[in-house]
């Protein structure tokens, strides 16, 4: 470390700076030097963790693979007495373009990142019917890892319900 300080002092001396300025900024063995704070780089990518549920009124209750989700027992989701887990998916998305995920009914779920600030995600989301017609176009604001639900399109004798939370990629 001392050799590096001597080289730095010699280099700076050639441009008119004194070695004292250099040695004062070089930490001794085991010491650290505080660095100026810099803004964190802008987050341009994220990940949507999605659970796709089939909601209907067949009297079978909530699939134990879903886990404890009290939201499903409250209106408007309590209108259905049966929830079956169809899939779990990780959908990476970014500011640059929409990312899509195919749904079991042939439609699509899509995301595009608007902004992340203080672990709060501002995301454009849409659900499309089979054939591409938009069923839902929304701007979602959610804290990181905070799950929210979107009631989706018709499926069999019920509907698809999408549980979503955002996180860093």
Instruction: Please tell me whether residues 100 and 29 are part of one structural domain.
Output: no
Per DSSP (E only), the strands in the chain are: 45-56, 61-62, 82-94, 99-102, 108-117, 120-128, 134-143, 148-155, 158-168
Strand partners, 51: 88, 163
Instruction: Please tell me whether residues 32 and 49 are part of one structural domain.
Output: no
- Number of alpha helices (DSSP H) and beta strands (DSSP E) in the chain: 2, 9
Q: Which domain holds residue 3?
A: 1-38
Mean pLDDT by 10 residues, the chain (169 residues): 35 37 43 55 92 98 95 95 98 96 97 96 96 94 95 93 94
What's the CA gap between 82 and 90, in Å, rounded? 24
Task: Report the pLDDT value the prediction gives residue 6, as an integer from 0 to 100.
Answer: 35
Instruction: Please tell me whether residues 65 and 105 are part of one structural domain.
Output: yes
Q: Which tokens is 139 given?
A: 């701007």
Q: What is the pTM of this model?
A: 0.74
DSSP annotation of 36 reads P
């Amino acid at each position: 470390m001392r050799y590096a300080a001597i080289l730095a002092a010699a280099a700076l001396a050639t441009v008119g700076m004194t070695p004292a300025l250099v040695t004062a900024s070089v930490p001794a063995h085991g010491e650290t030097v505080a660095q100026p704070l810099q803004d964190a780089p802008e987050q341009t990518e994220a990940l949507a963790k999605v659970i796709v549920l089939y909601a209907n009124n067949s009297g079978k209750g909530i699939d134990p693979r879903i886990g404890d989700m009290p939201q499903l027992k409250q209106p408007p989701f309590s209108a259905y007495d049966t929830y079956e887990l169809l899939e779990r998916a990780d959908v990476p998305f970014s500011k640059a373009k929409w990312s899509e995920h195919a749904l079991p009914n042939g439609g699509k779920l899509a995301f595009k990142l608007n902004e992340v600030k203080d672990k709060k995600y501002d995301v454009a989301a849409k659900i499309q019917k089979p054939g591409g017609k938009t069923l839902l176009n929304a701007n979602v604001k959610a804290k990181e890892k905070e799950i929210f639900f979107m009631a989706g399109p018709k499926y069999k004798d019920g509907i698809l319900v999408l549980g979503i939370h955002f996180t860093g990629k």
